[in-house]
Structure 1
Amino acid sequence: MKRPGIVLAHGKWDKPPYAIGTLADALRAAGHPVLTPELPWSLARLYDASFHDALLILDAAAQALRRQGCDRVVLGGHSMGANAAIACARRHASADGLLVLGPGHFPDWLHQQGISTDSLARAAHAVASGEQERLTLTDVFQGRPRPVRIPPAHYLEYFAADGPAVMPDNCRHLESLPLLWAVGRADAHFDLGRGYAYALAPPHPASAYHELEADHIGTPQAATALVLAWLARTFPEPA
């Protein structure tokens, strides 16, 4: 297959067709095979599997595209899905490129702000005590806290300030690969800027950081033309 396959990961608490739906349709119309697996942070699942298990789902989707004949696969996502795409690329070497759209879920920031401190302590105590039942702990979407019932071991994976979902750490440990990073100016975390994580990734001549006129939810749709142009430029079809 000449055009790269795309794995797109949806955001936190999302449900089909997801905020990535319009972008996924446009990619398919342009000839890209696209997979949009449901992940453990969907509204229907609410963290019923660990973060590491989520990365295995993304890696399996990438490998499925390769079995279908895609010799190049781009991992991408929106919000928490963008976070997970970065983490998967770091740990599984699944990607020939990365699409990071309105990245979300900031365990380090939540800890620094004291938002997750109590929940992390409760989850750690539960795990140390051998408890596995879901607890009501604090999650956050676009700066707004929300209680969710989540297995304590899963909470530690998703929310620990030194855990596997910390984007700056994951960006530092990427291989050099093409990275398109787009964030809306009306995103609650827009002010983190390119220095928070994008600038920590190894440089690549095809990497680019873009600011869009969009809010968090609207970023994938607003980025559609940008993504299509970047893919065509970065992964030209062989002669």
Structure 2
Amino acid sequence: MSRTPLLLLLVLAMLSSPVAWAADKSCAIVLMHGKWGNPRFVAGFGEALSDLCEYESLEMPWSQRRNYDADYTEALAEIARQVTRFREQGFQRVIVAGHSFGANAAIAYMANHGDADGVMAIGPGHTPEIFYERGRTRESVDQARAMVNEGKGEETSGFHDINQDREQKIRMRARIYLSYFDPDGIGNMGRSADGFYKAVPFAWIIGTSDRLSRGGPQYAHARAPEHPKSAYLEVSADHVSVLDAPGRQAAREWLLSLDAN
């Protein structure tokens, strides 16, 4: 057999493969880091998937450097701009993804903008309703709400912030704090999952040693509209190490499943 027919057969085989969409990178991921972090924290995770999907890691308002310089609605608008850029570049499938607070944002994005083709929540975090119920942020939330109601939402104060077992007071504007920590607001992942604009593939990747795993799918994942490609994936990891090999493999398998029959 001559080389030309052989090459043609190889090309046809690749096109018929379930990973053909990965080979031509028709997929793009908007990737968000967790609280007090920066894009470097999720760069390894993004690179591990880069043969399947292009990705862009955004620095979000909850980064250590930005220190909550924009409210949650404005943060979602930043994600929307990157989704639009990927669409303009011709990507057919755009997935919003993130780790910890970034996962919270990916879920919130689907409820407030709703134009993504999938959601990947890796070690989801930031649970304002739990913080408030347990009294850990109650004083700060009540103070911020009172300031907003009194027309003082642009004034700054020291408000309580929680990142797993670490706690600190951060100075920010009252309306910004309330946008992230209102127990019934955008940061409530269960409410956001309830409010997805449409059913899309929704991967929830969580470590078995992550505290939030105790809530199971019922906490938020099962509240989203049903989709046959959605998956609740538990891996042997904690809240941070979910970004390492077990979480990366789970993410790869889920991405590859999206075009499988």
TM-score range, shorter chain: over 0.9
1:178 touches 1:204 (CA, 8 Å); kept in 2?
yes
Cα displacement (A) at 1:16: 3.8
Partner of 1:173 in structure 2? 195
Distance 2:52 2:230 in 1: 22
Which residue is 1:43 aligned to?
Answer: 64
Say which of 216, 226, 249 aligns to 1:225.
249
Q: Is the 8 A contact 2:208 2:235 kept in 1?
A: yes
Query: 1:161 maps to which residue?
Result: 183
Deviation, 1:232, is 1.5
Which structure has the larger Rg over C-alpha atoms? 2
Question: What's 2:32 paired with?
Answer: 9
Q: Distance in 2 between matches of 1:7 and 1:51?
A: 17
| Per-residue deviation, 1:205 | 0.8
User: Deviation of residue 119 (structure 1)?
Assistant: 0.2
- Which protein has the bigger helix share? 2
Deviation at 1:8, TM superposition (A): 0.7
What runs of 5+ residues in structure 1 fail to find an aligned partner?
none
For 2:257, give the aligned amino acid: R
After superposition, the CA RMSD in angstroms is 1.5
Q: Which amino acid aligns with 1:14?
A: G
Deviations 1:89-130 (Å, cap 9, x if unpaired)?
111122111101100011111111111110012112222343
The alpha carbon displacement at 1:227 in A equals 1.0
User: Aligned pairs, how many?
Assistant: 234
Superposed, 1:118-197 pairs within 5 Å as 118-131=139-152, 132-174=154-196, 175-197=198-220
Change (3 A) 1:8 1:16: closer
Between the aligned residues of both structures, percent identity stands at 35
Is 1:234–2:234 an aligned residue pair?
no
Higher RCO structure (Cα 8 Å, ≥6 apart): 1
Cα separation, 2, equivalents of 1:190 and 1:226? 16
Q: Provide the rounded CA distance (Å) in 1 between the counterparts of 2:44 and 2:259.
A: 21
TM-score calculated relative to the size of structure 1: 0.93
Distance 1:226 1:203, change over 3 A: same
Q: Aligned ranges for residues 25-174 of structure 1 at < 5 Å?
A: 25-28=47-50, 30-131=51-152, 132-174=154-196
1:75 CA drift (Å) = 0.7
Which amino acid in 2 is paired with 1:216? H
1:115 maps to a residue whose letter is R
Quick one: which amino acid aligns to residue 250 of structure 2? L
| TM-score normalised to structure 2 length | 0.85
Partner SS state of residue 31, structure 2 = strand
CA distance in 2: counterparts of 1:124 and 1:64, whole angstroms: 35
The whole-number CA distance in structure 2 between the counterparts of 1:233 and 1:24 is 18
- Aligned equivalents of 2:237, 2:171: Cα separation in 1: 31
- Three-state SS of the structure 1 residue aligned to 2:217 is coil
2:93 is matched by which residue type in structure 1?
R
Structure-1 separation of matches of 2:163 and 2:122? 15
Amino acid at match of 1:65: F
Provide the C-alpha distance between the structure 1 equivalents of 2:241 and 2:218, rounded to a whole number of angstroms: 23
Look up the equivalent residue of 1:223 and give its one-letter code.
G
Aligned-partner Cα distance in 1 for 2:258–2:98: 18
Question: What amino acid is aligned across from residue 109 of structure 1 in structure 2?
Answer: I
